[in-house]
Amino acid sequence: MLFSKGTKEVVGLDIGASSIKVVKLIHGKNGYVVDSLAIRELPPEAIVADEIRDREAVIFCIQSVLDECDTNSKNVVVSLSGAALITDKLMIDKKSGAEAEQAILFEAEQRSPFDVEDVALDHQVIRLDEETNKMEVLLVAARKEFLASYLQLLTDSGINPIAVDTDAFAVYNAYINNYEVNPDRSTVLVNLGQDVTNVLYIHNGLYHSTRDLSIGSRSVFNAIQQEFRLNHELTNKTIQGQMEGSIDQDMLKMTIVNAAEELINGMELAFNYFKSQAETDAIDWMVLSGGGALIPYLPEFIQSRMQIPLEIFNPLRNVQYDPERLEGIEPEKIAPLLTVPVGLAMRKVG
């Protein structure tokens, strides 16, 4: 038997600006196995910059991918990202229980750009320093209004979210379950989505910090659509590398490079800020995921401009799957697109 007693299934749901992805993983004694996965493209501009503009279409797509994924479970792990979410690290005296909660809340009030009464807070201790009797705490804050709207969308879709993560930490979870973390190099995980780019740093073998950039691959999509006068469907095919015989490739490369300039500037600022905070001269390795990792010529351009060795993320590197069960989907061709839902489905819940 492929699955036996002691296994558990977890469903990861990634609601992106251009598509919705669902991955169901079986957690077994021998690791992770893909039970099913599904992807559904959203209508143009159904979601733009975290704003849901076509609610009924999004709900329909969520329900469709869950049905297509053939999962009876409505208990899923979901995630958030964008301007309504902030993360920070605190170093406080080692405490526990209510005393720790009070100290963290006090620090959050000093740091949060939002009124603490208007945000939902969560935290996790990521490191204890026994010598100084200090603990490093990761703080995550989401605006209550945004969180309530998002959870209502899920409820209206017939979903029970058993855990709410962030896109960046889902990427991190997928990374540490598929790759060995090298403590001798600084690594940046870049998840390039349609409207948001999640940037997460690993330094000295440990999580360091994360930052969401309010720019993604939409500018590239729009530039290609305008330059070649394509409709939405043909632009998607071009971005997915399916129009090589119909599109001048030199012109396509130039269009992508020019459209990515603002993204590159944002990444440079984020990388320089990390280097100053971590007191390091360089980032040694970059791992690129998300739909942007599949755009022709874009990964090579990012690598050449940032002058950092770049690897395309494969979140299924240590995951088993049977291609015959996936009904025509070829995971190896779209693996970077699955990073967030795979990372969510790798969560240990219950």
226 neighbors 251 (Cβ within 8 angstroms): no
User: For residue 215, with 0-12 CB atoms within 10 Å meaning exposed, 13-18 middle and 19 or more buried, which class applies?
Assistant: buried
Domain co-membership, 302 together with 187: yes
Mean pLDDT of all residues in 10-38: 92
**Same domain flag for 190 and 117:** no
Q: Are strands 187-192 and 160-166 parallel, antiparallel or unpaired?
A: unpaired
Whether the predicted pLDDT of 121 surpasses 90: no
Asked if residue 10 belongs to a domain, the reply is no
Q: 118 pLDDT exceeds 90?
A: no
| Domain contains 260 | yes
Answer yes or no: do 185 and 124 share one domain. no
- pLDDT over threshold 60, residue 323: yes
Domain with 214 in it: what CATH number?
A: 3.30.420.40
pLDDT attached to residue 5: 39
Q: Based on the domain organization, do 107 and 183 belong to the same domain? A: no
Same domain, 305 and 193: yes
Cα angle, residue 150 at apex, residues 173 and 214 outer, rounded to 5°: 65
Encode pLDDT of 32-44 as tens digits.
Answer: 999 989 999 999 8
User: Residue 4: its pLDDT value, please?
Assistant: 35
Mean pLDDT to the nearest integer, 161-180: 94
Number of domains comprising the chain: 2
Same domain, residue pair 232 and 137: no
Mark whether 219 and 117 lie in a shared domain.
no
Cα–Cα distance measured from residue 176 to residue 14, given in angstroms and rounded to the nearest whole number: 19
Is 50 exceeded by the pLDDT of residue 3?
no
Residue 75 included in any domain? no
The mean pLDDT of 237-242, rounded to a whole number, is: 87
Averaged pLDDT score across all residues of the chain? 89
Q: Which domain holds residue 205?
A: 179-313
Global pTM exceeds 0.95: no
Which token pair is 93?
């005296």
Q: Compute the distance between CA of residue 82 and CA of residue 40 in angstroms, rounded to an integer.
A: 21
DSSP 126-163: EEEETTTTEEEEEEEEEEHHHHHHHHHHHHHTT-EEEE
CA pair distance 42, 69, nearest whole angstrom: 16
Report the CATH number at residue 121: 3.30.1490.300
pLDDT single digits (tens) 262-286: 999 999 999 999 999 999 999 999 9
State the pLDDT at residue 112: 63
Counting Cβ atoms within 10 Å, is residue 57 exposed (0-12), middle (13-18) or buried (19+)?
middle
Whether residue 219 sits in one domain with residue 138? no
Run of H or E residues at 25 = strand 19-28
In a domain, 284, yes or no: yes
Give the highest mean pLDDT range of 16-30, 64-78, 235-249.
16-30
Residue 328 domain-assigned?
Answer: no
Asked if 215 and 262 sit in the same domain, the reply is yes
| Rounded Cα–Cα distance for residues 240 and 5 (Å) | 40
Q: Determine, yes or no, domain membership for 153.
A: no
195/255 same-domain check: yes
pLDDT at 84 over 90: no
Does pLDDT of 317 surpass 90?
Answer: yes
Co-location of 226 and 123 in the same domain: no
Same domain for 250 and 299:
yes
Q: Which comes out higher in pLDDT, residue 51 or 60?
A: 60
Evaluate whether residue 232 is within a structural domain: yes
- pLDDT exceeds 90 at position 29: no
Question: What pLDDT shows up at residue 7?
Answer: 56
Residue whose pair of structure tokens reads 């479970």 in the numeric block: 73
In a domain, residue 60? The reply is no
